[in-house]
Amino acid sequence: MDLDPFEPVGITAQTMRFIDVFLLHCLLSDSPSDTPAEIAALARNQHRTAARGREAGLRLERDGAEVTLVEWAEELLDGCAPLATALDEALGTTLHEAAVDAARDALTQPHTLPSARVLDTMTRQHGGSFIEFGRARSADTKSRLTSQPFSEAQALHFAGLARASVAEQAAIEAADTVPFEAYRQAYLDISRLGGLGSTC
């Protein structure tokens, strides 16, 4: 995922609900341990999607075979649908199902995706310049956010939270028992991959 440049906070509530459903799907789906071959395939898939994700019929690697990005996405959405329904039943809403439906609609209407909107806006309003597009979106976001009311009480509240956060960080760092370099080496040790699971 990336930030949505058309949203002042970078993401919509609907997208957040979809992520909730998707993460539950990842949690509840069977997933064997990662292998070096799968990790390499995932890296290739990520590169293909980032570089050519808008290409019709783009194919990705899965379990030694190929599947189109859209086919794989449809399968994931099919798996997400019952979870969205269960969440909505538990919360008394229809918002999670709507989020999954919107994701499904986006598969058949890619012109509605943020990437398409970025390209269209760049072309129509900024002479094809991504830099000019970014400047304009930044200025708009700043204007929209700074126009929101922000009371002195809110400022004091957030200043207090910042002080508490710095104090908590200092306490965590003071309690460290392993030197950072030793932690870093252990964290990057390739042998850790043997016990890692989810590929979702």
Q: Evaluate whether 195 touches 34 at the Cβ level (below 8 Å).
A: no
Mean pLDDT of the region 163-171: 97
pLDDT by residue (tens digit) across 20-79?
999 999 999 998 888 899 999 999 999 999 999 888 899 999 988 999 999 999 999 999
Q: 195 or 162: whose pLDDT is higher?
A: 162
Residue 197 has pLDDT above 70, yes or no: no
How open is the CA angle 180-182-185, to the nearest 5 degrees? Answer: 110
Question: What are the angstrom distances between the C-alpha of 51 and each of 15, 58, 93, 115, 130?
Answer: 22, 11, 37, 12, 16
* Separation of first and last alpha carbons in the chain: 14
Beta strands in 69-160 (DSSP E): none
pLDDT (tens digit per residue) in 78-134: 999 999 999 999 999 999 999 999 999 999 898 888 889 999 999 999 999 999 999
Confidence of residue 195 (pLDDT cuts 50, 70, 90): low
Supply the pTM of this predicted model: 0.73
Q: Is 128 helix (H, G, I), strand (E, B) or coil?
A: coil
Question: Is there a contact between 26 and 200 (Cβ–Cβ < 8 Å)?
Answer: yes
pLDDT digits (tens, 9 = 90+) for 125-161: 999 999 999 999 999 999 999 999 999 999 999 999 9
| 196 touches 33 (CB < 8 A) | yes
The confidence score (pLDDT) of residue 53 equals: 87
Bridge partners (DSSP) of residue 59 are 68
Alpha-carbon span 10 to 7, nearest angstrom: 5
Averaged confidence pLDDT in the chain: 92
